[in-house]
Amino acid sequence: MKFMKSHVFWFVVLGSLIFVIDEQTSDPLDIIVVDAALERQVAALWAAQIQREPTEAEIVSLVDDWVTEEIWRRESMRLNLAEEDEIIRRRMIQKMQFITEQEAVLAPTEEELQAYYEANHERYGVPSSVSFEQLQFQSREAATGALSAGESLADLAESSMQSRVNVRQSPLQVASTFGPEFTRSLNGYDVALNWQGPIKSTFGWHLVKLLEINSSSVAPFEDIRATVHGDYTYESRLQAQADFIEQVRSNYDIVRKEE
């Protein structure tokens, strides 16, 4: 047969053979279908938990989260971590995330921790604070009159459920206890050994002795090293997960079907 001796014939046969082998051995993209039914499903689950219907933007975010989780599930399936089941699906995702995290460098050097601390100073800020004593009186007049009482001043004050001595209280803590008006007035005083006032709170009128004022600052690294290490480790795990998803996401063809 002359056609079997033709170079064109064997070229076509060889090309066809290569195509068939490639189709049989190649690893095609997995297909993840996102359709209206899925959107309704994730929206219903969300509504059952939050007790309101999600917005369009929230549905988009929920579907994106579902796609990410589906990638986690399928990658875990490749490793035969568990059988198909909704509860197992969650466990499989957790297992795959754990495996991914273990591959990340989660034991930082001291230099890496120091660099992380320096780059995230705002997280470790210590708010301004004041230390003060306070005595409570029934009226402004009673408080003003007590200022001239000398050593017996404290005996003229009312009994109060509020602490007489308040140590290193932030402005928010002072306001939550005594009210914003008291806090504003207190901020107008300087540290002094004598009693000052009177100033008004939500409980009445007070005389105060301002003991200490501390400006806002950043906690020293040595004092919060354990906290910095925990933050670094947590972010490293999240970054490891994000890097993995970014790496394998191209293996999946996300198909969105319209109704």
Give the integer Cα–Cα distance in Å for 232 and 249. Answer: 25
Please report the pLDDT score of residue 205 as a whole number: 95
Q: What is the pLDDT along the chain (259 residues), one digit of tens a residue?
A: 444 444 444 444 444 444 444 444 444 558 899 988 889 888 888 887 888 899 999 999 999 999 999 898 888 878 777 555 677 778 878 888 887 777 665 678 899 999 999 999 888 988 899 999 999 998 999 999 888 876 678 888 888 888 999 999 999 999 999 999 999 999 999 999 899 999 999 999 999 999 999 988 888 999 999 999 999 988 888 888 898 889 888 899 888 887 6
pLDDT recorded at residue 104:
64
Distance CA 164, CA 194 (A): 15
Domains of the chain with CATH codes? 29-125+219-259 (1.10.4030), 128-215 (3.10.50)
CB of 100 closer than 8 Å to CB of 241? yes
